[in-house]
Structure 1
């Protein structure tokens, strides 16, 4: 499929085209860090610092306790936590016990928790105390045998640990009252009773799963992506090679991306453990707290999502903070508008580039060189040992440069398959190439461009319209903070383009002004016919705008209108 790897000519000389992949387990990197740099700080969390020795010690205690609960090699351990010390400790502890981690989004409602627990067959879940009521409602319908409950206060220093429950109740309205028993376990008690004993559980990195990571479920129930130790180690090593200016043991990374998302897990947590980077962990993204953390801790690396950078550049007081320590930011999970990239780099002096990948690719496959040639609108070039091809809809073979088709990927980071779904797995591969579902093209220099999701494409009057292109134009308008574009039913054109807009504070613009602006920058058939101004757009916890939720909103409104008309007639 790949006739020539044109992208290799664009690699900075410091990045090799191929790497040596160590055939080792993911948890072995924490073990190595604790043995070779025991007193080095692993992370800072709300006033609490922990060394690699302390993190490894707690992970071992948790691993031994999992074994005592009957968790054997290959059993599933679900983790439903915000970014906290426990999310690192339980993740690596589960791996040390030989288990497979099932990351569970803390925003999941009962139906989603139930589906994921049943599908994965998880034996143990670790969850935050404020999330326990949701888990309790579905627990008995699943294979869960134990639920381990922890609180953010469990790793806070005095007096924050005493004050926190009152703050939590004030902010959430939830008073946590849990009856612990032989099946509902108190995390601090469980950990303190655990042995700090080394475990010797043989791992075959290429065959054994480290992670069952569930996809968003936009085409039905979420599917469990099977990622091996080798997949995750390979992608972390690729990331390290891409960030070649990183100094081992000297960097400080802002951990605002959720660890339960595969992007935050790889480029923040796993990379930090592998490269002795100190994580500044934030339980949630708050622009002011992020700015304070960057200034106070001299953060040098800040992987994030576009909405995070949008939130920061629109923070009124941003110029009061010293952000000059920022060296590199890798944006993922959603398209990065060019305007956002340029403004953020101007404010910090650091580099902000876009990366591209999927849960199925551990997740990163393509990125713009951080310290190399970049092209406006491009997602960049494939990472070492990663091949990307464009599947021509006409020929079924590799497309020519400039021709739009579906992107396909192969490399050491590509998943083993979907758990218990052999048909879905087979449909997602063309031989050993993973079919992404994303439409794009490659230029003459091997740089790739995404035009949109295959399923998000709008067909209006016979024309193929890609929402991302229109959103890029809308982001260039001085009054627009966020934009999302979808197709809505149209009796004449089949579909027509609708834009949802969030305005910047203190800015105003009319529909007529936006239409004029779009007509100056887009072909007439791409210009939105409908506009809706909103206070905020629906997003995932990682900050990805949910076009699907907007489509569902429109469908609901249309149905209500139809019902109303029927009643009226």
Structure 2
């Protein structure tokens, strides 16, 4: 299965069903397909060939959805870029993919200049007044026909190149084949128990795996994708109510902003049957709030990555908060000794012991390696296993709990300390909104535990927190923070990941 057939089969099944909504604009599947055909015809006339890259710097909007499917029809590679990255990172992405076309909007035009490119691409703006553009998308549609020359697309051809956020260096291109994307969309539908004609909110950006997975999943079900240009909790709540949204796939931070918004009490959530999330853990308090306010049939935790969509999933975290569940429908995992010296001598840890999560690369959801980065590919793939760098343990039910990154592990007095376990305990305190644990060099202990705290109440003191930790039943003496730093907010990347290394500068 390739994404062209994937989309066109959905069109044939239900021509009149609403496919995408963008503010006051609505397209049914027939109209969306016609627009995609016209754009594909125009892009082909501009010289776009199979497996050539199209750099897309757009927000979630109808134009982005049309372009995505048009590019898939031509066997070209949709390469969405997060234009909230630094200009330096965007420069790297541009030079790395060497795009044939660059498609942008007003909000992203300032990030690109014609002299940034080794070979001059064609610049296309979705607006008609751009000084940078060679042509606008509207002009392309007006000049085109609704037919294009068919291209033979194989399932192992690259469909998309995602770029990671680059928190540990320059961004990495993650090529994903048609087979990868189809298998991942299918897995998402099954694991989240989505239904025919589901309606979802397109909040997560389409340059992120969460965003495109939402679009693909509802397309397979002839559902409706409701595009949001930017995340706004109030607008999201209005759309959930007005458009009878039935499933959501967001980050925990987005759910937090939704359920704690004052307007949330006025919203009718009765159409929502599934809340799915990934990218970070969801606190017990947030799970409880989502359950009480929205009352969904399930709250699903999907644990995975851009490289391999699913590692594991928990079908309902209300039954086991913090659990990442069991391997996905296409997957198997192992937990190995995190202190291994060489990968050829790794051993699987016993039940309940902490190990590094490695994931089987034979899954149809798994990529084959980074774009132009063979040296990094070799670092994380060995003998058909993908080394995640995440630490966790398997409980007596066979479920995985992820406790943090191997790189974040603290070694104090010869003992391994896992920050996420301490963080989960700290946020139990009623005056703590967020907490991050890092290790700082210590002459005696090697490293000492330091807590960075975002308080909800300014009266919170070091003594109060230290007493809370000292008498907590699940926190040992060596895990107790030796220093507390109170800050207004945590430093985060463009995709919302906490930048632990920057905390030392706070």
Shift of residue 229 of structure 1?
A: 0.7
> Is residue 125–residue 144 contact of structure 1 (8 Å, CA) maintained in 2?
no
Which of the residues 353, 356, 363 maps onto 1:406?
Answer: 356
Q: Does 1:280 align with 2:280?
A: no
Shift of residue 188 of structure 1?
A: 1.5
Q: Per the alignment, do residues 408 and 198 of structure 1 end up closer, same or farther by CA in structure 2, a change over 3 Å counting?
A: same
Q: Does 1:309 align with 2:255?
A: yes
Shift of residue 141 of structure 1?
A: 3.4
Q: Per the alignment, do residues 533 and 189 of structure 1 end up closer, same or farther by CA in structure 2, a change over 3 Å counting?
A: farther
Secondary structure of 1:344 counterpart: helix
Which of the residues 258, 263, 281 maps onto 1:335?
Answer: 281
**Length, aligned pairs only:** 496
Structure 2's unaligned 5+ residue stretches are none
Which of the residues 168, 175, 187 maps onto 1:238?
Answer: 187
Q: Does 1:510 align with 2:456?
A: no
Which of the residues 191, 215, 233 maps onto 2:141?
Answer: 191
Which of the residues 181, 203, 216 maps onto 1:270?
Answer: 216
Give the corresponding residue for 1:217: 166
Secondary structure of 1:325 counterpart: coil
Q: Residues 507-530 of structure 1: CA distance to partner in whole angstroms, max 9, x if unpaired?
A: 752232222222333222222233
Q: Per the alignment, do residues 193 and 230 of structure 1 end up closer, same or farther by CA in structure 2, a change over 3 Å counting?
A: same
> Is residue 299–residue 315 contact of structure 2 (8 Å, CA) maintained in 1?
no
> Is residue 165–residue 494 contact of structure 2 (8 Å, CA) maintained in 1?
no
Q: Per the alignment, do residues 38 and 523 of structure 1 end up closer, same or farther by CA in structure 2, a change over 3 Å counting?
A: same
RMSD after superposition:
2.2
> Is residue 30–residue 52 contact of structure 1 (8 Å, CA) maintained in 2?
no
Q: Distance in 2 between matches of 1:211 and 1:428?
A: 21
> Is residue 117–residue 142 contact of structure 1 (8 Å, CA) maintained in 2?
no
Q: Does 1:483 align with 2:422?
A: no
Give the corresponding residue for 1:3: none
Q: Distance in 2 between matches of 1:234 and 1:240?
A: 10
Q: Residues 145-176 of structure 1: CA distance to partner in whole angstroms, max 9, x if unpaired?
A: 1121125xx9xxxxxxxxxxxxxxxxxxxxxx
Give the corresponding residue for 1:357: 304
> Is residue 310–residue 331 contact of structure 2 (8 Å, CA) maintained in 1?
no
Q: TM-score, normalised by structure 1?
A: 0.82
Give the corresponding residue for 1:46: 23
Which of the residues 459, 481, 484 maps onto 2:411?
Answer: 459
> Is residue 41–residue 49 contact of structure 1 (8 Å, CA) maintained in 2?
yes
Shift of residue 213 of structure 1?
A: 1.4
Q: Per the alignment, do residues 518 and 87 of structure 1 end up closer, same or farther by CA in structure 2, a change over 3 Å counting?
A: farther
Give the corresponding residue for 1:525: 478
Q: Distance in 1 between matches of 2:137 and 2:445?
A: 58
Q: Residues 215-265 of structure 1: CA distance to partner in whole angstroms, max 9, x if unpaired?
A: 222332222112111111111111111233x3312x211111111101221
Give the corresponding residue for 1:203: 153
Give the corresponding residue for 2:85: 108
Q: Per the alignment, do residues 109 and 439 of structure 1 end up closer, same or farther by CA in structure 2, a change over 3 Å counting?
A: same
Q: TM-score, normalised by structure 2?
A: 0.92
Q: Distance in 2 between matches of 1:529 and 1:124?
A: 53
Shift of residue 202 of structure 1?
A: 0.9
Q: Per the alignment, do residues 218 and 109 of structure 1 end up closer, same or farther by CA in structure 2, a change over 3 Å counting?
A: closer
Structure 1's unaligned 5+ residue stretches are 1-23, 155-176, 555-569
Q: Distance in 2 between matches of 1:238 and 1:508?
A: 47
Q: Which moved more, 1:38-47 or 1:213-222?
A: 213-222
Residues 26-45 of structure 1: pairs in structure 2 closer than 5 A: 26-45=3-22
Give the corresponding residue for 1:387: 332
Q: Residues 479-530 of structure 1: CA distance to partner in whole angstroms, max 9, x if unpaired?
A: 33333222233344333333333334x7752232222222333222222233
> Is residue 77–residue 125 contact of structure 1 (8 Å, CA) maintained in 2?
yes
Q: Does 1:147 align with 2:123?
A: yes
Secondary structure of 2:204 counterpart: coil
Shift of residue 88 of structure 1?
A: 1.2
Q: Distance in 2 between matches of 1:37 and 1:90?
A: 21
Secondary structure of 1:377 counterpart: coil
Q: Residues 396-444 of structure 1: CA distance to partner in whole angstroms, max 9, x if unpaired?
A: 1222211211111122111111112223222211211111111112223
Q: Which moved more, 1:530-539 or 1:70-79?
A: 530-539
Q: Does 1:539 align with 2:492?
A: yes
> Is residue 76–residue 102 contact of structure 1 (8 Å, CA) maintained in 2?
yes
> Is residue 305–residue 542 contact of structure 1 (8 Å, CA) maintained in 2?
no
